[in-house]
Structure 1
Amino acid sequence: MEKSTANKNFYNSINDAWLFIMGGNFHWGYFLSESDSLDMATNNLINAMSNLVKPTVKDKIIDIGCGIGHPAFHLHALFGSEVFGVSISENGINEANILAEEKGFQDKTSFFVMDAMNLNFPDNAFDIAWIMESSHLMPSKTILVNEAVRVLKPQGRIVLCDLMLQRPLKAREILKYQEDLKKMEKSFGQAKLDTLQVYQNIFAENNIQVNESFYISESVIKTLDCWKNNIENNWDKLSPYFSINQKTDFLETCDFLKYLYESEIWGYGIISGTKILYYE
């Protein structure tokens, strides 16, 4: 089964469960203080990305890998921007459009089932490309970024955050961790992690001037404990959507990710840039 099809099936099946584990924002939290809740921390991450691309009421934003729409709603509520979300999950897109109507945002936030590597939008259509924790799930990050750049207007801004490696995994490490990596795939979908340097190279190859790039690993790691606590605390609500085996795999994957972080193998990065104009 191709990676994109496998991930489509995975995300169609997991949305209901993740609401009880992650809340409405299907992404990691950025903890700025010890008192931050998971909801606050996930909004902090949206705000941190926003600070790098400065959305305005005049901007059209494409949210690539939009989940069930919460980052798009947050962006519209804060800045008045018009947001177009895309995802391969029909269930997620249906939920996002329902929520948009409930919030009265349907005129300014809209969501489409669409392949991020083959966007059904014209060239130069958007002011901002927003890629939040979806790039690691794509069969090709290069095609993903190339498509994002294609639909960006000249001097358009792009921001991306995701799980990343702090260094490439060695062959012996891949062999050593293969069972843990299989559990991670069951819990989060088929993924390929790369270093921040790889993203910098891909941006440069696609005519993007990198403005900011940095790791925030230390400030997101608490997310894992929050997810584990939510699984235990919400198990009665979660159990209709999540088997005992899925619960075990997810909890063990959280521990594995924490181990990789403490071993300085895995991290979390953010990168932003501007589409460069070339004249021939």
Structure 2
Amino acid sequence: MTMGKATPDEIASAYDGIADNLGEVLGSSLHMGYWGGPEPALTIEDASHRMTDLIMDGLDTSPGQRVIDIGCGTGSPAMRLARARNVTVVGVTISGVQVDIATERAAAEGLSDQVSFQRANAMELPFPDASFDAAWAIECLLHMPDRLTVLREIARVLRPGGSLALSDPVLRSPHMTGEQREALDRYYDLFKVVNVPPIDDYPGILRDSGFQLDRMTDVGDHLDPHRWGPRGWRVLSESLRQNPALTADKYGLTPEQHDAFLTGLASMEGLPAQGYLLVSAHLAGARGGSR
């Protein structure tokens, strides 16, 4: 399992500082986009919404139920879920800036009565046992040092039979060159990625946290080419080169360090080691329980 050293406070500070910049680069959602399907996505935002909808397809909910959004970012997926499923969504993030942005967006969209956001650590959720019907975690577990602890916390706050849907980067293969490993580790360190497990470990992680796996699909070959996909490292490098505030300005890299980092990212192009899972699971007990 690949591990980094960033603390929760460091991760919160990083997202506090780049929330607006990421939104400009990636669209209203701060997660990867899905570029597969019968019709091509036209924009990054189209692809991001498509990914949100794919994850939503794995979430078992009924109108009026209560859903927790782990690592809610700036709120776009939570609002999309609330509208599509007519559920109440509580989003949590360790970034106070993201809470403020998400809360303002919900108010602007007229969803304040249905969607709310608060600052919280997913490894110590401030909610009673069995207080939610469903949960999702979109591309956030990579910032948490212990997936098992987070998933057990999610299991604790879900009711019996509660549904879980998540998306998560994984390592398909540990085989890469020294240059590629150095570039990947530098990427993890810069963007506070602390935990990326091998794909083969995932069923056991879910089982040990109390969930029963329903479906697990690696969609890494269809990811947003501006981010993490196995074919997209060079495009990511070029995109970041046009947005130096995400690297050089924010993280204090010299121009030489900035260029060396982006060159290293470009060397990752075509590497099949990086996958991206869509997972749906549920707790033991009656499915689709009432509130």
Note whether the superposition's TM-score is higher than 0.5.
yes
Partner of 2:273: 265
- Structural mapping, 1:178-193, within 5 Å: 179-193=182-196
Partner of 1:58: 64
Q: Secondary structure, in 3 states, of the residue corresponding to 2:134?
A: strand
* Distance change >3 Å, CA 136–CA 185, structure 1 → 2: same
Q: Secondary structure, in 3 states, of the residue corresponding to 2:46?
A: helix
Q: Does 1:198 align with 2:201?
A: yes
Contact 2:183–2:261, Cα closer than 8 Å, also in 1:
no
Deviation by residue 1:179-222 (Cα, 9 ceiling, x = unmatched)? 41343135422322112332211111122110001100111152
Contact 1:59–1:127, Cα closer than 8 Å, also in 2:
yes
Identify, as 1 or 2, the structure richer in helix. Answer: 1
Of 265-274 and 224-233, deviating more is 224-233
**Which of 43, 68, 72 lines up with 2:74 in the alignment?**
68
**Which of 87, 100, 110 lines up with 1:104 in the alignment?**
110
* Distance change >3 Å, CA 177–CA 219, structure 1 → 2: closer
**Which of 25, 28, 44 lines up with 2:29 in the alignment?**
25
Of 8-17 and 114-123, deviating more is 8-17
Partner of 1:15: 19
* Distance change >3 Å, CA 203–CA 186, structure 1 → 2: closer
Partner of 1:94: 100
Deviation by residue 1:18-49 (Cα, 9 ceiling, x = unmatched)? 11111110000011333432111111111111
**Which of 43, 62, 78 lines up with 1:37 in the alignment?**
43
The CA distance in 1 between the partners of 2:178 and 2:58, in whole Å, is 38
Contact 1:63–1:129, Cα closer than 8 Å, also in 2:
yes
CA RMSD in angstroms comes to: 2.9
Contact 2:139–2:166, Cα closer than 8 Å, also in 1:
yes
* Aligned residue type for 2:272: E
* Distance change >3 Å, CA 247–CA 101, structure 1 → 2: farther
* Distance change >3 Å, CA 5–CA 35, structure 1 → 2: closer
Q: TM-score, normalised by structure 2?
A: 0.82
* Distance change >3 Å, CA 115–CA 252, structure 1 → 2: farther
Q: Does 1:144 align with 2:173?
A: no
Where in structure 1 do 4 or more consecutive aligned residues deviate above 6 Å? 232-236, 238-244
Of 199-208 and 131-140, deviating more is 199-208
Q: Secondary structure, in 3 states, of the residue corresponding to 1:30?
A: coil
Instruction: Give the CA deviation at 1:78.
Output: 1.2
Instruction: Give the CA deviation at 1:145.
Output: 0.3
Q: Secondary structure, in 3 states, of the residue corresponding to 2:163?
A: strand
Instruction: Give the CA deviation at 1:228.
Output: 5.9
Contact 1:3–1:190, Cα closer than 8 Å, also in 2:
no
Q: Secondary structure, in 3 states, of the residue corresponding to 1:130?
A: strand
Deviation by residue 1:150-206 (Cα, 9 ceiling, x = unmatched)? 001110000110111113x36xx5865454134313542232211233221111112
Partner of 2:218: 215
Instruction: Give the CA deviation at 1:250.
Output: 7.3
Stretches of structure 2 lacking an aligned partner (at least 5 in a row): 287-291
**Which of 85, 88, 104 lines up with 1:82 in the alignment?**
88
Q: Secondary structure, in 3 states, of the residue corresponding to 2:164?
A: strand
Q: Does 1:125 align with 2:136?
A: no
The CA distance in 2 between the partners of 1:213 and 1:251, in whole Å, is 32
Stretches of structure 1 lacking an aligned partner (at least 5 in a row): none
The CA distance in 2 between the partners of 1:44 and 1:253, in whole Å, is 29
Q: Does 1:255 align with 2:261?
A: no
